[in-house]
Amino acid sequence: MSTSPRATRRTVGITEVARHAGVSPGTVSNVLNRPERVAATTRRKVEAAIAELDYVRNSSGSSLRSGRSGSVGLLVLDVTNPFFTEVARGVEEEAATAGLAVVLLNSAEQQDRQRRNLRLLAEQRAAGAVVMPVDDDLSDLVWLARQGTAWVALDRGDVSEEVGCSVSVDNHAGGLAAGRHLIGLGHERITFLTGPFAIEQVRRRHDGLREACAEAHLDPDQAVRVIEQPQLNADHGERAVDAVLAGGPRRRPQAVFCANDQLALGLMKGLGRRGIRVPEDISVVGYDNVDFADLVHPGLTSVAQPKFDLGRSAMRLLISELNDPDHRHERTWFTPELVVRGSTAARRT
């Protein structure tokens, strides 16, 4: 509603609103932050002035004064991975109920990018952060907490309550479930196709698989072969096909358990190219139960993680840490669930 399109930049502040409404700046501030403390009639006057002047609050000013900003960071390992975006939705939804703005940051699985992003959060005096750490080194997070920014670690089980809150999924149980399923179908030569073992989640899933073998009186060293790829994406899944099939039809695995759906889907594509049928020739199991797992043909059997709830409860933990003055760090565990689809079948031979 400005008169001239190129009017000089007027900078409407709390003081101008106050003048316009005939009250003091302090009252305007109260209307904005603790409306219950101000009488209804003056509140309406102030609100009218705000609307008329098209006042928009300057969050730099407020967070400078109060020492903390009203936004929280969400640092994910890979914005491209559907697993993380689903988690992000959970975080966002919960943050919205607390009136917190979420800034999404991407570490792309690189330590220096993680460090840069954490520093950014410190500079912005972010209220808190939900972080999926790239590796076991949590020293940067400890630093962040010392700067006054609280955090919750996501999907990393080995964070002790001494250091901070965490919410994670039981990766051992996931590996165990996948292993039991495959062994139950009669498979005795299983390949574990994975990313770097430096990733804790991957190690646990592997352990779970091996435990399933032991349960069934199979020697894990005999039954399980490991193929380690540098990254957990579809491209590396496809490239792994040679290694998976090495040894010819007699020694090739009857089933492949992939540490990740992307790997599994890539592998399935590679197998298709080779003319190997899934599940007739080889069963495939993925991990994460990404939406797309249901869209390929055959549907991908996968270990489902409660992605949305994961994000939501991480944010809840963070909010409680922000509000509760004598908060003790907590650890929340989720249990994964196997979703069986067409990519796994009973052993044929």
C-beta separation of 147 from 127 below 8 A: no
Q: Which does 26 bind (CB under 5 to 8 A by kind): a second copy, DNA, none?
A: DNA
What letter represents residue 329's amino acid? H
How remote is the C-alpha of 32 from its chain's centroid?
33
How remote is the C-alpha of 240 from its chain's centroid?
26
Q: Which does 292 bind (CB under 5 to 8 A by kind): a second copy, DNA, none?
A: a second copy
Which alpha helices (DSSP H) does 160-260 contain, by range? Answer: 171-184, 200-215, 220-223, 234-239, 241-245, 248-251
Structure tokens, 113:
């990018």
Quick one: which segment of 14-22, 129-137, 150-158, 231-239 binds DNA (CB under 7 A)?
14-22
**Site for a second copy contains 157 (CB under 8 A):** no
**Site for DNA contains 332 (CB under 7 A):** no
The CB density around residue 25, as the number of other CB atoms within 10 Å, is 14
Quick one: which segment of 51-59, 90-98, 317-325, 336-344 binds DNA (CB under 7 A)?
51-59
What is the Cα–Cα distance from 236 to 9, expressed in whole angstroms? Answer: 53
Binders of DNA in range 63-122 (CB under 7 A): 64-67
**Site for DNA contains 32 (CB under 7 A):** yes
Could you say which DSSP state residue 343 is in?
A: T
**Site for DNA contains 4 (CB under 7 A):** no
What is the Cα–Cα distance from 46 to 271, expressed in whole angstroms? Answer: 68
Binder among 35, 216, 272, 320 for a second copy (CB under 8 A): 272
Structure tokens, 293:
């797992």
Contacts of 168 (CB under 8 A, 6+ apart): 153, 154, 155, 156, 157, 331, 332, 333, 334
Terminal-residue alpha carbon distance, the chain: 77
**Site for DNA contains 124 (CB under 7 A):** no
C-beta separation of 319 from 72 below 8 A: no
Shortest CB 148 distance to a second copy, Å: 6
Closer to DNA by Cβ: residue 15 or 110: 15
Binder among 88, 173, 193, 310 for a second copy (CB under 8 A): 88
**Site for a second copy contains 58 (CB under 8 A):** yes
Quick one: which segment of 44-52, 63-71, 151-159, 169-177 binds a second copy (CB under 8 A)?
63-71
Binders of a second copy in range 227-246 (CB under 8 A): 234
Which alpha helices (DSSP H) does 34-170 contain, by range? Answer: 40-53, 59-66, 82-97, 111-123, 139-146
Binder among 25, 157, 186, 196 for DNA (CB under 7 A): 25
Q: What does the binding site for a second copy look like in residue numbers (CB under 8 A)? A: 2, 9, 11, 56-61, 63-64, 67, 69, 79-80, 82, 85-86, 88-89, 92, 101, 103-106, 119-120, 122-125, 146-148, 234, 265-266, 268-269, 272, 291-292, 294-297
Q: What does the binding site for DNA look like in residue numbers (CB under 7 A)? A: 11, 13-15, 22-30, 32-33, 37-39, 41-42, 55, 57-58, 60-62, 64-67
